[in-house]
C-alpha cells in the first residue's frame, strides 16, 4: 500500500511541480504547431479548444509564449508567431487609417 503525505506544504509543492511540467509540455506542443504552420492565427478560445486545455492553463501558456517573444497578440486578439506578420496586422494605427 502506498502512503500519501498529507503535509500541506509537501502536497502544494508536488502539485506545483506537476503543473509546471504540464505547462512546459503544453508550451512545447504549441510551439511545434506554430513552427509547422507559420501563418497560424488563433484566438485564446480557439487555442483552448484545439489543444484541449482549460481556460486558465491556455492563457498561462499563451502569456508565457508572449513573454518569450515567440508569440504576439494582434489588435484582433489573435495569437500569431512573433516573427510572422500580415500587412494588415503590422500597420500602425495611423497607417491603417491612411489606407482606408
Domain map of the chain by residue range?
Answer: 8-99
Q: Which three cell numbers stand for residue 37?
A: 504552420
Which residue stretches of the chain are H helix?
Answer: 8-36, 44-50, 55-67, 87-90, 93-99
CATH match of 8-99 with 3.20.20.60: no
Rounded Cα–Cα distance for residues 83 and 7 (Å): 46
- pLDDT at position 85, please? 67
pTM for this prediction? 0.67
- 18 pLDDT tier (thresholds 50, 70, 90): low
Number of other residues whose CB lies within 10 A of the CB of residue 31: 16
pLDDT above 90 for 62: yes
User: In the 8-state DSSP scheme, what is residue 69?
Assistant: T
CB 29 within 8 A of CB 68: no
Amino acid at each position: 500500500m502506498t502512503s500519501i503525505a498529507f503535509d500541506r506544504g509537501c502536497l502544494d509543492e508536488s502539485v506545483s511541480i506537476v503543473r509546471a511540467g504540464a505547462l512546459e509540455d503544453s508550451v512545447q506542443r504549441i510551439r511545434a504547431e506554430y513552427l509547422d504552420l507559420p501563418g497560424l492565427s488563433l484566438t485564446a478560445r480557439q487555442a483552448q479548444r484545439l489543444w484541449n486545455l482549460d481556460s486558465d492553463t491556455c492563457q498561462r501558456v499563451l502569456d508565457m509564449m508572449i513573454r518569450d517573444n515567440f508569440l504576439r497578440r494582434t489588435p484582433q486578439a489573435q495569437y500569431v508567431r512573433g516573427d510572422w506578420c500580415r500587412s494588415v496586422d503590422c500597420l500602425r494605427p495611423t497607417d491603417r487609417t491612411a489606407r482606408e
